[in-house]
Chain A
């Protein structure tokens, strides 16, 4: 009996996936099964194929002749992909991102109507380049978990076929408190914009909806624009990452559309009563980098960690400190308007002191410290990562009703 034809067939199948198997070796295996073990030739071909597939870590190719190998796998919904799955999906490339390493030829997000998933195409796979906005059928890709996020890996055993027709794809959003690492969309309001902490960062801040808030970041890339604070956006296919147990949204891959209306942002809003027990260095009048989008605090020598010496700095006021209620200490950050109303020192007055007093900016720090340290205040704002960003701060005035109530409480049991 001649096994060379079947061996050739199997060998071709593997070379299509980028793996070379010696037909002589395949032939040997087939012969052994058929002549020694009395296995049917078609069954032998199937089992040798599967055995080799396992050996080379490729998805099972099933039986039969060339061309039929792929049809077996069931189409999977992207949202249902779990780590370790070998899957076949049909989806639209909604974003491509710069590959993180030379061994990756393409990375991005592919989505179907159930959701999106990050994918990585290994350079070794020799897969055809996929284009944003096009639909593809991807057979035998493998899902893996990396840093808590499920990724689809496209390797040499994966087949990619373009789908001609442009199917409709309606992206969806979900409540912020239901986001999980991977890909997500939200309809949210930009509730805060933070000082950029990295030179590659275009913008970072906080997005909020009715269910909660989440940090967002946009990295500098051609064509990327900043979000406008206070605006509502529909954001689709953002990357949801988890770090130190906290989620954040990276918007570089996302489709962002400005929306009308308003959202009553909930969550994170707190009000704390207590005494100010510490005013940290860096409070008072500070200088900020004037470079657009930077706004970092400068050193005394007007040095910005990114933009170096900036003689045309912008003055600002802030107080960093600790507000303590006797049970817990809250890190508080007060911005200019709150500082002005709490200390009674306006930015103009502070500038005047900083420029004319022999102690300069230190004098502003000392005056503000003397005005607020040890005082009882109520601070309202948003608490993120144990830091309270205050929208308003008010001195608490003495309450004689509280005095009476306490006298009754203390005296009641005497």
Chain B
């Protein structure tokens, strides 16, 4: 009822946190397209999943198999987190001190839950590198890892099903940017991941 422009501005500006998408490593490493929504410097940046969904944040649970401290002045940690389908490359630098300290004190191997931002790099020789900048990393148990596999398989299958029938802009974008990918491989991937969980 109120036509006060300030109210309208606030409503539109209401903060909504980006959800953490669930994606298996072997789908995640196929990402080749990163884009920004809006012109603003602070506009969120998204990586487009081949199954037709943007992600600004992902949640993954796997086994931390390696970690490596790098840099002299700007210390940062790299790590590898393995799920049933492949490997996530994670990193935490001095801009994420909490996450870096957490990663630093985690002994390998361990089941870890990671929340982080996806990042896409292209090396000078043209190769793509997809990594996760860690926001938080916690040691969890195997049950949580298994739950994550079920959760991620379900979400992946949802996305594949939506690709067949849906018309969202992200689905159209995915078809445009990943013309060579047949999403059926991700159904197989999800099945294989589920099959690795002991019944």
A329 to B16, CA, bound (A): 8
Residues of B with C-beta under 8 A to A400: 199
Interface residues of A in 373-414 (CB under 8 A from B): 373-376, 386, 396-400, 402-404, 406-407, 409-411, 413-414
Find out whether the CB atom of A278 lies under 8 angstroms from the CB atom of B199.
no
B113 proximity list for chain A (CB < 8 A): 275, 373-375
One of B1, B114, B190, B194 near A403 (C-beta < 8 A): B194
A409 to B135, CA, bound (A): 33
Q: Closest A-chain residue to B116, C-beta based? A: A277
Instruction: Determine whether the beta carbon of B59 is less than 8 Å from that of A403.
Output: no
In angstroms, Cα B16 to Cα A331, docked, is 10
Across the interface, do A181 and B19 meet the contact criterion of CB distance under 8 Å? Answer: no
Task: Provide the bound-state CA to CA distance between A327 and B54, in Å.
Answer: 11
Between A369, A370, A403, the greatest number of chain B beta carbons within 10 A of the residue's beta carbon is seen for A403
For the complex, count residues of A whose C-beta is within 8 A of B.
Answer: 40
Would A414 and B188 count as touching, CB distance under 8 A? yes
**B140 and A278 contact, CB distance less than 8 A:** no
Residues of A within 8 A of B20 (CB): 275, 277, 324, 326, 329
Interface window among B37-45, B147-155, B173-181: B147-155
Residue of B nearest to A371 (CB): B138
Which of A244, A322, A375 is close to B7, meaning CB atoms less than 8 Å apart?
Answer: A244
- Decide: A376 and B1 in contact? CB cutoff 8 A: no
CB distance from A163 to the nearest CB of B (A): 33
- Counted as pairs of residues, one from A and one from B, with CB atoms less than 8 Å apart, the total is 108
Give every chain B residue within 8 A of A147 (Cβ-Cβ): 2, 4
B120 at the binding interface (Cβ < 8 Å): no
Complex CA distance for A374 and B140, rounded to whole angstroms: 7
Chain A CB within 10 Å — which of B16, B19, B144, B199 has the most?
Answer: B19
Interface residues in A328-386 (C-beta closer than 8 Å to B)? 328-329, 331, 369-370, 373-376, 386
Q: Which residues of A contact B199 (CB under 8 A)?
A: 400, 403-404
Task: Select from chain A the residue with minimum beta-carbon distance to B22.
Answer: A326
Measured between beta carbons, the chain B residues less than 8 angstroms from A397 are: 143
A245 at the interface (CB under 8 A from B): yes
Residue of A148, A242, A373 ringed by the most chain B CB atoms within 10 A: A373
- Are the C-beta atoms of A326 and B21 separated by less than 8 Å? yes
Q: Give the residues in chain B near A328, CB-CB below 8 Å.
A: 19
- Tell me if B143 and A398 are in contact (CB < 8 A): yes
CA distance A404 to B199 in the complex (A): 8
Q: Is the pair A402, B150 in contact by a Cβ cutoff of 8 Å?
A: yes
Please measure, in the bound complex, the distance between the C-alpha atom of A406 and the C-alpha atom of B147, giving whole angstroms.
12
Q: Which residue of A lies closest to B115 (CB)?
A: A277
Question: Bound state CA distance, A404 and B154, in angstroms?
Answer: 12
Q: Does B191 touch A at the CB level, under 8 Å? A: yes
Query: At the interface, yes or no: B139 with Cβ under 8 Å from chain A?
Result: yes
Set of chain B residues within 8 Å of A369, measured between Cβ atoms: 138
Given A326-B19, A397-B143, A410-B157, the answer on whether A376 and B11 have CB atoms closer than 8 Å is no
B92 contacts A by Cβ under 8 Å? no
Which residue of A is nearest B6, CB measured? A244
Residues of B within 8 A of A410 (CB): 153, 157, 187, 190-191, 194
User: Shortest CB–CB separation between residue B89 and chain A, in angstroms?
Assistant: 19
How far, in Å, is A369 (CB) from chain B's closest CB?
7
Of residues 298 through 333 on chain A, the ones whose CB sits less than 8 Å from some CB of chain B are: 322, 324-329, 331
Say which residue of A243, A277, A324, A406 sits within 8 Å of B194 (CB atoms): A406
Contact with A along B178-199 (1 / 0, CB 8 A): 0000001001101100110101
Which residues on A sit within 8 Å (CB–CB) of B7?
243-245
- B-facing residues in A232-251 (Cβ within 8 Å): 242-245
CA distance A163 to B61 in the complex (A): 75
A335 CB to nearest B CB, Å = 21
Would A277 and B59 count as touching, CB distance under 8 A?
Answer: yes
Among B14, B115, B190, chain A packs the most CB atoms within 10 A around the CB of: B115
> How many Å from the CB of A408 to the closest CB on chain B?
10
CB distance from A365 to the nearest CB of B (A): 11
* Complex contact A398–B147 (CB within 8 A): yes
Name the distance in Å between A193's Cβ and chain B's nearest Cβ. 25
Question: What's the least CB distance linking A93 to chain B, in Å?
Answer: 26
Q: A102 to B187, alpha carbons, bound, how many Å?
A: 72
Inter-subunit contact B22/A406 (CB<8 Å)? no
Cβ-defined partner of A324 (8 Å) among B19, B148, B187, B191: B19
Residue-wise, chain A 269-286 has the 8 Å CB interface mask toward B (1 for contact) of 000000101100000000
- What residues of A have a CB within 8 angstroms of the CB of B114 in the complex? 374
Asked if B136 CB lies within 8 Å of chain A CBs, one says: yes
- Distance (Å) between the CB of A176 and the closest chain B CB? 18
B 114-144 binary contact with A (CB < 8 Å = 1; else 0) = 1100000000000000000001101110011
Known contacts being A326-B21, A369-B138, A404-B199, is A376 close to B151, with CB within 8 Å? yes
Interfacial chain B residues near A398, Cβ < 8 Å: 143, 146-147, 150
Task: Determine whether the beta carbon of A329 is less than 8 Å from that of B19.
Answer: yes
A400 to B146 alpha-carbon distance, docked (Å): 10
Q: Contacts A326-B21, A406-B190, A410-B194 known; list 15 others, CB within 8 Å.
A: A275-B20, A277-B20, A278-B135, A326-B19, A329-B18, A374-B112, A374-B114, A374-B115, A375-B113, A376-B147, A376-B151, A398-B147, A403-B199, A406-B157, A411-B191
Sampled A-B contacts (22; CB under 8 Å): A147-B4, A242-B1, A244-B7, A324-B20, A326-B59, A329-B16, A329-B17, A331-B17, A370-B138, A374-B59, A374-B113, A374-B115, A374-B138, A386-B16, A397-B143, A398-B146, A400-B199, A403-B150, A407-B194, A410-B190, A410-B191, A413-B187
Which 3 pairs of residues, A with B, have the shortest CB-CB distance? A374-B113, A148-B1, A410-B191
